Structure 1
């Protein structure tokens, strides 16, 4: 197949190399971004904050600032990626993150730390940018597998980062850890600059003006369904994560093992996702992305029910691992369905909206989980989330069924 053929069919002949670079870049940048979790409160205290409540508050502000800012600007970076190239957005993100993370090792005040975390959110977004680039320049019949591989790299970075963050500061110090992390991200910047090959196409114009992203989508129902599903996925994760430590304290007898068991519970979900994402993505390419989404939501809804009634820590670990296996196919399939239902020129814009929707789910899930857990008990969080996932499965089934009937009717008329 010639390069012109691939251009017309909507994928890049260098997609495998681009996937490898994006996998390595997302893995390394997320390690650098999450390794501060274990020592963030200690660093906040070193910067002069006194009192347990103030340290916890500033740690939350500093950590959450990046995600808040990233959610706001994700559609903007997606739109600019459509206009000027997605590789350029990855170069911008990796360079900006390298500078900001390195500067975090030089701050003298907690305000400076929070401000740099905010700037990281505004300038960053390497993993979400990688997802958009891979989605838009991979053959459509391989998109599920490719996005599954990338999703596994993203989850692995989130899993390995805190482990390195727990081991490295005692050896080289907190400030040197930030400088080292900045150096790792700079390597990702170099790899992105010199190894990624992009065939950039600008968005279509309508009557001499650039059309809005949604106006160019023939059937908006699948895209809207995927935005809702992305929110549900993050609600399912984040409604549970903040209360796991408290829940573990209620079900185990040895209180000295609370943090250990909680760590295993959180890691089990991530490990399950890492193992299943490429496989479920490949399966979705064969049997259909909608089928995997509906199945994953249904299985997750069922697995959440016994989690509300566990009596031992190992039971929760096993169920969360199975939950991770089920959830692993959702993000690749959500992105693939969007990719299959939008024109090439507006992919970044719409997928940027998908990223923002997922950030909304993260915020809503953590707030709702804490509120429900505090007022109605921990079991209510699991059962309520189960109901949401079941409703999401039904909603996706209805949308897909109606869409299939519409396509059959349209084919019959033609």
Structure 2
């Protein structure tokens, strides 16, 4: 009936808005401290020579525990519903960040970061729930808009965080972030409808695959294994760039204070481009060829990264960061899009949780690679080395798409109500 369909579309639209806000809040909350982490750790009494080591370990810690917990939470969501996992992710992050406000030593802060990875992990459950809101031919638009929320969070989080920390201190900053995450959890709890990818009463649902079976299916599928590996390389490249980007900006500016301003401006430029690029790549994926989208984006991103070691004035970095941000927005969402295609509905939460956990390996390995090439190559050469990771990612995506192009099209599935266009 027309009235019922309109009501369903309105409910889907509201659910997506809640998911978008939740992902924005989580990403903004988790990125507020990243640029300030060395200052925060120094304030906990660390000697200057140990700050860099503790900062690196603290940055990587959530990815380590999320690699283990994300597939397990995905399995729970497949069995009991994905709304519970969205609420759990935001509530878990709220608890972890709230405890950071009470940390008095670097060790206590590290434990909180490990708890963050174990209890949090917003991207997987949010993407899984969002995949139930749209028909397959509109799934790319949904995932693209969610990654637009990631860009918005990364754009505003560090900016607001630096102002709050400077004015009120880190304890108040963590408390505000925890409060924002708690609001997101309460909104999800009270307003998201319960959803499972496949209702229990459907006879065609079959047995839910085990975690081992999910891993085997991803590894056995040409697109699955190559695109997940490509996504890991892409993540590693982006996090390796964190190690070398600020020194490059400092090298081509007149002072440390000027370099600090330019790093902030260039970071904001990149994430603003990511905010725009996320929905654009999502719509392109809906038209078919997500692996090709990944390959094109990774190749363009590789060129933009490799050239960042050449400018002698910071203004010339602006267009390169725009290209990098716009193209980076395609990478993770294209991987998740393909995983949604190749996995059965009843295992989608497990599959997406596993995939996000695997992508986090790049977050751990990337800074190590960046530190390694920094010690072996001149600064300009490190950007070329990091760019080669993205070239390899592009090649892997094309390799996976070549033998079985049919997998780049969504499989036939039952029609569900389409999600109205949402402009984040």
Q: Could you tell me the TM-score, scaled by structure 2's length?
A: 0.85
Asked whether the 8 Å contact 1:35–1:166 carries over to 2, the reply is yes
RMSD: 3.1
Query: Residues 13 and 224 (structure 1 numbering): CA distance in 2 closer, same or farther, change over 3 Å?
Result: farther
Matches within 5 A, 1:196-207: 196-200=192-196, 201=198, 205=206
Asked whether the 8 Å contact 1:147–1:281 carries over to 2, the reply is yes
Displacement of 1:206 = 5.3
Matches within 5 A, 1:58-207: 58-200=54-196, 201=198, 205=206
Q: Distance in 1 between matches of 2:224 and 2:111?
A: 34
2:20 to 18, 23, 32: 23
Worse overlay, 53-62 or 330-339: 53-62
Query: Residues 151 and 210 (structure 1 numbering): CA distance in 2 closer, same or farther, change over 3 Å?
Result: closer
Q: Distance in 2 between matches of 1:277 and 1:207?
A: 31
Q: Could you tell me the TM-score, scaled by structure 1's length?
A: 0.87
Q: Distance in 1 between matches of 2:348 and 2:408?
A: 23
Return 5+ residue gaps in structure 2 as ranges. 410-424
Q: Distance in 1 between matches of 2:405 and 2:51?
A: 54
Residue in structure 2 matched with residue 311 of structure 1 by the alignment? 312
Asked whether the 8 Å contact 1:84–1:202 carries over to 2, the reply is no
Query: Residues 219 and 167 (structure 1 numbering): CA distance in 2 closer, same or farther, change over 3 Å?
Result: same
Asked whether the 8 Å contact 1:205–1:211 carries over to 2, the reply is no
Instruction: Count how many residue pairs are aligned between Structure 1 and Structure 2.
Output: 402
Asked whether the 8 Å contact 1:216–1:343 carries over to 2, the reply is no
Residue in structure 2 matched with residue 266 of structure 1 by the alignment? 267
Residue in structure 2 matched with residue 34 of structure 1 by the alignment? 31
Residue deviations 1:101-149, cap 9 Å, x none?
2222223333322212211111111233212221344321111111111
Return 5+ residue gaps in structure 1 as ranges. 6-10, 409-414
Residue in structure 2 matched with residue 411 of structure 1 by the alignment? none
Query: Residues 257 and 199 (structure 1 numbering): CA distance in 2 closer, same or farther, change over 3 Å?
Result: same
Q: Distance in 2 between matches of 1:54 and 1:257?
A: 26
Asked whether the 8 Å contact 1:135–1:336 carries over to 2, the reply is no
Query: Residues 404 and 382 (structure 1 numbering): CA distance in 2 closer, same or farther, change over 3 Å?
Result: same
Displacement of 1:209 = 8.8
Residue in structure 1 matched with residue 415 of structure 2 by the alignment? none
Asked whether the 8 Å contact 1:100–1:120 carries over to 2, the reply is yes
Query: Residues 79 and 319 (structure 1 numbering): CA distance in 2 closer, same or farther, change over 3 Å?
Result: same
The secondary structure found in structure 2 opposite 1:168 is helix
Asked whether the 8 Å contact 2:270–2:322 carries over to 1, the reply is yes
